[in-house]
Structure 1
Amino acid sequence: MEAQEEIERWVLSVCEKIGLRAADVNADFFEAGGNSLAAMKIISQAEETFGEDALPPDDLFSRSTVREIAACILANSGRAPVTSES
């Protein structure tokens, strides 16, 4: 599986876990119910999974679809996610 797709799935999974209604990669984080608290949660999870500064707040606020978030994480971390428990 391509790293971008793997990270997109990870983003969708995190959105679901924090109660957002992101149905697909074109879903916008904020339109799906994301707020500043949810933003801090996904940023924290991204750093835990992909490393420090994997998802800077400025990136999340300016590129907020699931696909764009995944692309930012991929660009900023330079690696695929560690296997997570699901």
Structure 2
Amino acid sequence: MTERHLHASHPAIIARLKRADGHLRSVIAMIEAGKPCLAVAQQLLAVEKAIANAKRELIHDHMDHCLDAEGSKTDRDELRTIARYL
């Protein structure tokens, strides 16, 4: 079993992702209702940006709080790995 890994920023990130989830559900409904593609594409861009912002906040928070200030090799390797997701 893995240990819970929580940060102070996680509740805000969860809230952002839940809003993005609701927004995505409304985009799906737009497609099902036959709304114009331009409107759907615009809303999909908003969902995409919301998710990207949540991801960026999570990664930056991890880099600020989880990597050792001394910069061990393990931390540098982890930084390289997580930076791929930016």
TM-score under structure 2 length normalisation: 0.30
Higher RCO (CA 8 Å, separation ≥ 6 residues): 1
Structure number having the greater helix percentage: 2
Larger radius of gyration: 2
